[in-house]
């Protein structure tokens, strides 16, 4: 019988495979989507437009009936590599005070103890090696350098945004993806796992419509994205129960402001600066500039935690496929208010006039307004589910998963991905996802 099956070949699944490979274990990775190459979409002029889900044939919405929350453009990129071939490479650590609420064992492993580097430092070092030895905060354009100076002059502790990317010339770049190193013989594309069932000596994985033979394995690692993994775990632990079960789910809360600078000059590559972490709004402030027609688009945005008390709820049951209940609005509105203050302060420092509307404004609407009013800033908001940062539901050390990433009620079955985060904090999830892949595999039986 095969030692281990990994379900999902996205960011988490491919990173788990790399660790299994290093550990010399026998494994296979099952991915629902097809092979569409392993090249990051920004590396190729013909694929950069795929960042827009509406133009991407691999895009598959999370929900059969999307609503305002996790709407029609929240979903997987169902293909080998998953969203690791789309991400922007932004690598931030979860803030220390938020990690303080994670189980001590995991926190210590991530941060390191007794002067020993932890998994965050080791993962960053591996990414730095991949970036041809460049620091993740290496300035990538002259504009980035100038923006750092400008923001530092305004009192911000600005650095180029930490990103695991390599420049390829002519404005093209690629972000790190663990899928590039996966040996082809280990991969089975077009294999959607519809259920995981316990058997005496391991697990049976039911594929597709269940009509064919099941795959029997000793161990399984579920990496099917946060919602997909919750659904598979729920079926494994509670299959047959009528009552729907509830899992908390969070995204990030984000808003920004756009300014079109018609006479700006800019390199082909976008520039991105991490201006500051703002403690009152518990948000990161990032300022970006990129070519926009004949001019430049300035996009300053803040991204913070969706507070745990304002988590959405995933309902899963045999009679109920995945359904989402909305979060408490008041706590979200409070974050948004504080974020608007951060943007207002930046605008004041930079001498910008801001056009603010109380209601929700999409990025596209704000852009149209900014194009019509060059030099004036227009605010926009992201809706919950729009950022591809869905996390939680199967917290490390929580009800379903122990501190090593194993399911408490299913020995030999582990989980990896942002679903493991006990709290998300403001940071983008992938650096932590990559570090947790190492953490979980190193502790597998
Ligand atoms: C445009 C974009 C920009 C982003 N930028 C950043 C960034 O700068 N920094 C950052 O930290 N994060 C960023 N992200 C988010 C990051 O990409 C995701 O958090 C991360 O990829 C999630 O990893 P995952 O493995 O959980 O899910 P995915 O990468 O989505 O992988 C899940 C895989 O599982 C497969 N799957 C699902 N169900 C099944 C099943 N039943 N059987 C078999 N296979 C299945 C899916 O097809 C998919 O390939 C960005 C995302 C996007 C789309």
- For ligand 1, atom 19: residue with the closest CA: 389
* Structure confidence by residue, pLDDT tens digits, 399-439: 999 999 999 999 999 999 999 999 999 999 999 999 999 99
pLDDT digits (tens, 9 = 90+) for 139-152: 999 999 999 999 99
Instruction: Please tell me which residue, 220 or 293, carries the higher pLDDT value.
Output: 220
CB-ligand 1 contact for 438 (6 Å cutoff): no
Hey, whose CA ends up nearest to atom 52 of ligand 1?
A: 87
User: Regarding predicted confidence, which is higher, 325 or 17?
Assistant: 17
Average pLDDT estimate for 223-244:
92
Q: Is the pLDDT reported for residue 64 higher than 90? A: no
* CATH label, 2-109+174-246+388-442, candidates 3.50.50.60, 3.30.930.10, 1.10.260.40, 3.40.190.10: 3.50.50.60
CA of 160 to the centre of ligand 1 (A): 24
Query: Token digits for 96?
Result: 């220390």
Atom of ligand 1 nearest to the CA of 192: 42
Q: Within 10 A of 192 (CB to CB), how many other CB atoms are there?
A: 17
- Is 90 exceeded by the pLDDT of residue 211? no
So what's the pLDDT on residue 170?
83
Domain ranges in the chain with CATH number 3.50.50.60: 2-109+174-246+388-442
pLDDT at residue 407, as a whole number: 98
CA angle 355, 358, 361 (to 5 degrees): 75
Closest ligand 1 atom, residue 81 Cα: 49
| Ligand 1 nearest-atom number relative to CA 430 | 11
Which of 193-202, 209-218, 351-360 is predicted most confidently?
193-202
| pLDDT for res 320 | 61
Weakest mean pLDDT among 111-125, 206-220, 311-325, 356-370? 311-325
The minimum-distance atom of ligand 1 relative to the CA of 60 is: 47
Q: Two tokens at 114?
A: 């007794």
The larger pLDDT score, comparing residue 265 to residue 416, is at 416
109 contact partners, CB below 8 Å, separation of at least 6: 118, 119, 439
Nearest Cα residue to atom 21 of ligand 1:
83
pLDDT tens for each residue of 39-59? 999 999 899 999 999 999 999
Residues 11-26 have a mean pLDDT of 98
> For 357-391, how does the pLDDT look when each residue is reduced to its tens digit (9 = 90+)?
888 899 999 999 999 999 999 999 998 999 999 99
User: Which of 16-20, 209-213, 293-297, 348-352 bottoms out in mean pLDDT, i.e. has the lowest?
Assistant: 209-213
Distance in angstroms (rounded) separating the CA atoms of residues 264 and 293: 10
Ligand 1 pocket, residue 11 CB under 6 Å: yes
Residue 93 Cβ inside 6 Å of ligand 1? The answer reads no
Verify whether ligand 1 is closer than 6 Å to residue 13 (CB atom): yes
**What's the mean pLDDT in 197-214?**
91
Q: Has residue 66 got a pLDDT over 90?
A: no
Closest to 424 in 3D by CA, of 364, 379, 384: 384
Q: Band of the pLDDT at 328, cuts 50, 70, 90?
A: confident
Model pLDDT for residues 277-296, shown as the tens digit of each residue: 999 999 999 999 999 988 99
Rounded CA-CA distance 264/266 in Å is 7
Average pLDDT on 108-125 reads: 97
Q: Does 242 score more than 80 pLDDT?
A: no
| Atom 37 of ligand 1: nearest residue by CA position | 224
pLDDT tens-digit readout, 330-340: 888 899 999 99
Measured by CA distance, the residue closest to atom 14 of ligand 1 is 87
Residue to mutate, 430, 431, 434, ligand 1, most ligand atoms under 8 Å from C-beta: 430
The three-state DSSP-derived secondary structure of the chain is CEEEEEECCCHHHHHHHHHHHHCCCCEEEEECCCCCCCCCHHHCCCCHHHHCHHHCCCEEECCCCCCCCCCCCCEEECCCCHHHHCCCCECCCCCHHHHCCCCHHHHHHHHCCCCCCCHHHHHHHHHHHHCCCCCCCCCCCHHHHHHHHHHHHCCCCCEECCECEEEEECCEEEECCHHHHCCHHHEEECCCEEEEEEECCEEEEEECCCCCCCEEEEEEEECCHHHHHHHHHHHHHHCCCCCCEEEEEECEEEEEEEEEECCCCCCCCCEEEEEEEECCCCEEEEEEEEEECCEEEEEEEEEEECCHHHCEEEEECCCCCCEEECCCHHHHHHHHHHHHHHHHHHHHHHCCCEECCCCCCCHHHHHHHHHHCCCCEEEEECCCCCCCCCECCCCECCCCECCCCEECCCCCEEECCHHHCCCCCCCCCHHHHHHHHHHHHHCCC
| Residue 424 beta carbon below 6 angstroms from any ligand 1 atom | no
Who wins on pLDDT, 319 or 22? 22
CA-proximal residue: ligand 1, atom 46 (nearest):
78
Write the burial class of residue 128 (CB in 10 Å: 0-12 exposed, 13-18 middle, 19+ buried): middle
Report if pTM > 0.75. yes
Distance 331 CA to ligand 1 centre (A): 27
pLDDT above 90 for 67: no
What CA–CA distance (Å, rounded) separates 305 from 251?
7
**Per-residue pLDDT band at 322 (split at 50, 70, 90):** confident
């Amino acid at each position: 019988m095969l030692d281990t099956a990994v379900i999902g070949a996205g960011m988490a699944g491919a990173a788990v495979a790399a660790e299994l490979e290093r550990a010399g274990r026998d494994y296979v990775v099952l991915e629902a989507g097809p092979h569409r190459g392993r090249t990051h979409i920004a590396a190729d002029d013909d694929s950069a437009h795929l960042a827009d889900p509406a133009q991407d044939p691999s895009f598959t919405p999370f929900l059969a009936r999307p609503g305002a929350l996790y709407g029609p453009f929240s979903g997987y990129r169902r293909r080998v590599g998953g969203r690791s071939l789309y991400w922007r490479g932004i690598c931030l650590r979860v803030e220390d005070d938020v990690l303080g609420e994670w189980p001590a064992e995991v926190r210590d492993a991530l941060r390191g103890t007794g002067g020993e580097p932890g998994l965050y430092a080791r993962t960053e070092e591996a990414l730095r090696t991949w970036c041809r030895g460049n620091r993740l905060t290496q300035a990538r354009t002259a504009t980035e350098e100038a923006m750092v100076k400008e923001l530092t002059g305004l009192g911000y502790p600005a650095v180029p945004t930490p990103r695991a990317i390599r420049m390829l010339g002519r404005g093209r770049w690629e972000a790190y993806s663990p899928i590039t190193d996966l040996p082809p013989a280990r991969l089975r594309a077009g294999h959607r796992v519809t259920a995981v069932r316990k058997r005496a000596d391991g697990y049976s994985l039911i594929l597709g419509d269940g009509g064919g033979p099941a795959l029997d394995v000793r161990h399984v690692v579920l990496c099917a994205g946060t919602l997909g993994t919750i659904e598979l775990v729920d079926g494994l632990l509670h299959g047959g129960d009528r009552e729907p079960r509830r899992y908390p789910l969070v995204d990030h809360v984000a808003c920004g402001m756009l300014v079109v600078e018609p006479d700006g000059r800019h390199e082909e590559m976008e520039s991105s600066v991490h201006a500051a972490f703002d403690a009152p709004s518990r948000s990161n402030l990032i300022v970006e500039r990129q070519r926009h027609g004949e001019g430049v688009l300035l996009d300053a945005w803040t991204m913070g935690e969706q507070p745990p008390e304002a988590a959405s709820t995933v309902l899963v049951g045999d009679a109920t496929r995945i359904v989402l209940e909305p979060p408490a609005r008041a706590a979200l509105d409070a974050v948004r208010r504080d974020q608007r203050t951060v943007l207002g302060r930046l605008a004041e420092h930079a001498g910008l006039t801001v056009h603010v509307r109380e209601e929700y404004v999409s990025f596209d609407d704000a852009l149209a307004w900014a194009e019509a009013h060059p030099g004036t800033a227009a605010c926009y908001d992201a809706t919950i589910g729009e950022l591809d940062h869905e996390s939680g539901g199967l917290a490390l050390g929580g009800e379903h998963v122990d501190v090593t990433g194993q399911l408490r009620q299913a020995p030999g079955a582990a989980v990896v991905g942002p679903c493991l985060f006990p709290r998300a904090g403001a940071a983008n999830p992938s650096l932590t996802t990559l570090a947790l892949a190492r953490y979980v595999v190193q502790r597998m039986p």
